[in-house]
Structure 1
């Protein structure tokens, strides 16, 4: 399954044995932003007993039970995100305790369901691995290269006109090798490549 993020925040509300679980899933790319967002939720819900969260964002991924029994909140929420192949996404659940203990199994189900239900209405956005390429090409090829970029779902980031044309572009990783080969062939080896960087982006 390909990796996705979500287009905008989605929410859910569950009431289980008088406890309210307010679930929310939103696009967040790093831990610092996630921590700030959780702090904002705490401020918005001063009477809540717990604000549990899970972040799926590559090396920034994290899970926090916020005082619930270990492994009953953050980790199950993270598993929902992982199961749905989401990336760059923060899941939060604000819990107002209703006075009835749910037990470990009940908590896992509640936190899992709060996030799963929110995601039922989420608009998924595919994440495409992109590569940034820079090259120098003869002036005679500039128009041809611009047309070729469109054919390979590539975008022009920068053009500098000097003794030749310096072009910086971003292209889906799957198309990068083909595009480089096309430009090499068209320039008969005159194109000079200077940079290649990979990053994730949204299609």
Structure 2
């Protein structure tokens, strides 16, 4: 697997005919297992011979041969994902049987190759490690703080209030964490309390 993991920027598809069988690979970026399974249900063709799939989301992965001989479909799709260095992705390869048996080796090459080509053609971007930052600040500093969030590519995940001010939960790239923490303390003249945490 390549050192820098990537994520897909959009769903993609690739189709090829192999000895009269049609293979359609469809891949999509998925941040959760629930979304991976939702994508499967969305694109699987009940009229096809097989809808084989694999996903990888961080340390979680699964694959399914959907009736093909064990190890000839789902695992090669997962290996294509790993070979492409892609994370947070679901790949479904649908097969319409054309009457010629491919044999175990032929199936491995067909499923793995179709998935690999789909991922090769896909638009992708480096996976950025994200971190969380909890900030408690006085009401008077809130507008300024919110206006500066974009400087650190920070997104406000949650906002709440208490008698002492506002509590913001920010998500931002991990490599911006130290700078953001220091700048928030500076901006609020030391009045903000900052608590970083990796997700």
1:145 Cα offset (Å): 4.0
Partner in structure 1 of residue 127 of structure 2? 127
Partner in structure 2 of residue 22 of structure 1? 24
Give aligned pairs, total: 196
RMSD (Å), alpha carbons: 2.8
Partner in structure 2 of residue 89 of structure 1? 89
Partner in structure 2 of residue 137 of structure 1? 137
Counterparts of residues 15-54 of structure 1 (less than 5 Å): 15-42=17-44, 44-46=45-47, 48-54=48-54
Q: Is the CA contact (8 Å cut-off) linking 1:13 and 1:114 kept in structure 2?
A: yes
Post-superposition CA distance 1:26-45 (Å, at most 9, x none): 12233344334434444x34
5+ residue gaps, structure 2: none
1:131 Cα offset (Å): 2.0
Q: Is the CA contact (8 Å cut-off) linking 1:30 and 1:60 kept in structure 2?
A: no
Identify if the C-alpha distance between structure 1 residues 149 and 38 changes in structure 2 by more than 3 Å, giving closer, same or farther. Answer: closer
Counterparts of residues 4-19 of structure 1 (less than 5 Å): 4-19=6-21
Post-superposition CA distance 1:51-78 (Å, at most 9, x none): 1101111244101111222211111111
Post-superposition CA distance 1:159-191 (Å, at most 9, x none): 748544544322211111232233345656543
Partner in structure 1 of residue 173 of structure 2? 172
Post-superposition CA distance 1:81-114 (Å, at most 9, x none): 1122212211111112222221222111111221
Q: Is the CA contact (8 Å cut-off) linking 1:14 and 1:21 kept in structure 2?
A: yes
Q: Is the CA contact (8 Å cut-off) linking 2:26 and 2:92 kept in structure 1?
A: yes
TM-score, L = length of structure 2: 0.80
User: Distance between the aligned counterparts of 2:38 and 2:153, measured in 1?
Assistant: 35
Identify if the C-alpha distance between structure 1 residues 60 and 141 changes in structure 2 by more than 3 Å, giving closer, same or farther. Answer: same
5+ residue gaps, structure 1: none
